[in-house]
Amino acid sequence: MIVKRRALSFWERLYVPALLGGIKVTLGHFFKKSVTMQYPEEKWTVPEGYRGAPYLVKDQEDRTKCVSCQLCEFVCPPRAITITPPGPTASAEAGNVEKMPKEFEINMLRCIFCGFCQEVCPEEAIFLMKDYSLTGTNREEMIYNKEKLLSLGGIHQDPIQKWKQKLREAREQGIGAEGHSDKVDP
C-alpha cells in the first residue's frame, strides 16, 4: 500500500516559525524555578521510618555487637544474609560479645529492605539505615562483608534502647508487658 504524504502548507515549509516556536518554549522554562536535583551532590530527604540498606553497628566501646545467633539469617525472606559463626574454639572478644561472627555477608542484590533482621536481632546489632544509593560495577561488589557492613553502620554514640522502647510501647498499649523483668525508666 502506498501512503500518500500530505503536502506541507506555506508556513510549514518555512523554517523560522518552527524555530521561533522552539525558542518560545525554551524561554518559558528559562524563568521558571528549576526542578532538577543535582544528584549526587544533592540528595533526597527521606521520610522518618524509611527503610534503607541494613548495616551492622558497634557499641560505644568499638565492639561488634553481633553474637552470631543467626536469627536474622533465619528470618530473612530472600535469604540475603550469610553468617559464619566463630565456632566452639573462638575465644571471648570482650564483655558480652562472646561470639563475634567470623564472617557476615549481606547480598544487597537480594535484600528487599523489609527490616525483619532489625526487628528480630536480640543484640540491636543490625539496623536499616536511610541509604538508598547502593551502587556497584559487578555482582560481587554488591555482597557486603562484615568489615564493610561495620564500617557503614559505625559506632552508635547514644545508648541503643530499642527493647526498652518496644516495652514502653507495649505497656502503653496494655499488651504483653506484665511480668517482664526489664525495668523501664519513667
* CA max distance for the chain: 90
Q: Which of 126, 133, 116 is nearest to 154 (CA)?
A: 126
Any contact of residue 149 with ligand SF4 (CB under 6 A)?
Answer: no
**Nearest approach, Cβ of 124 to ligand SF4 (angstroms)?**
8
Task: Please tell me whether residue 160 binds ligand SF4 under the rule CB under 6 A.
Answer: no
d(CA 155, CA 57): 6
The SS3 assignment for 173 reads: helix
Q: Does 85 bind ligand SF4 (CB under 6 A)?
A: no
Is 127 near ligand SF4 (CB under 6 A)? no
Among residues 97, 125, 149, 150, the one that binds ligand SF4 under rule CB under 6 A: 125
| Extended beta strands in the chain, E state | 54-56, 81-84, 103-107, 126-128, 143-144
The DSSP symbol for 32 reads: S
- Binds ligand SF4 (CB under 6 A): choice among 57, 100, 117, 149: 117
Among 70, 130, 148, 162, binds ligand SF4 (CB under 6 A): 70
Q: Which residues form the interface with ligand SF4 (CB under 6 A)?
A: 54, 66-72, 76-78, 80-81, 83, 106, 111-117, 120-121, 123, 125-126
